[in-house]
Amino acid sequence: MGYRFTLDDVAFLRGRYGEKALDVVSGMPLTSASMIADVEHARGRYAPHDAALIETTRCRRRATAKLRDADRWLLTDDALQQATPSVVAAHRAFEIADRFPGAVVHDVTCSIGGEMVELTATDGIGGVIGSDLDRVRVGMAQHNCREIGGDLPSALLLADALTPTSTADVVLADPARRSGGGRVFRLDQLAPPLPDVLMTYADRVVIVKCAPGIDYRALRNRFGFSGEVQVTSLDGGVREACLWSGPGIGERTRATVLRTGTDGAVSGFEISDDEPDDVEHSGPVGRWIIDPDGAVVRAGLVRQYAARHGLHQLDPQIAYLTGDHVPPGERGFEVLEEVSTSEKALRKAVAAYGCGTLEILVRGLDVDPDALRKRLRLKGSRSLSLVLTRIGRKGVGFLCEAGVRAV
Write the DSSP assignment of 113-133 as a string of letters: -HHHHHHHTSTT--EEEEEES
Instruction: Name beta bridge partners: 271.
Output: 255
The answer on pLDDT for 15 being more than 80 is yes
The answer on pLDDT for 281 being more than 80 is no
Number of H-type helices and E-type strands within the chain: 14, 19
What b-and-e string marks burial along 194-223, b requiring 16 or more CB atoms within 10 Å of the CB? bbebbebbeebbbbbbbbbebebeebeeeb
Write down the mean pLDDT value for the chain.
94
* Mean pLDDT computed over 9-23: 97
To the nearest 10°, report the CA torsion of 290, 296, 302, 307: -80
What is the Cα–Cα distance from 161 to 363, expressed in whole angstroms?
Answer: 40
pLDDT of residue 153: 87
- Where is 253: in which H helix or E strand? strand 252-260
- The CATH code that applies to domain 82-271 is 3.40.50.150
* Mean pLDDT computed over 155-179: 93
The answer on pLDDT for 179 being more than 70 is no
Q: Convert the pLDDT of each residue in 210-241 to its tens digit.
A: 988 888 778 888 888 999 999 999 999 999 99
The fraction of the chain above a pLDDT of 90, given in percent, is: 86
* Those residues with Cβ within 8 angstroms of residue 137's Cβ, 6 or more apart along the chain or in another chain: 76, 79, 110, 111, 112
In one letter, which amino acid is 92?
R
How many Cα atoms are found within 13 Å in the side-chain-facing hemisphere of 231? Answer: 24
**DSSP structural state of residue 243:** E
pLDDT band at residue 88 under the 50/70/90 scheme? very high
- Give me the residue spans of the domains in the chain: 7-63, 82-271, 288-405
In one letter, which amino acid is 247?
P
Query: What is the CA 7 to chain-centroid distance, rounded?
Result: 30
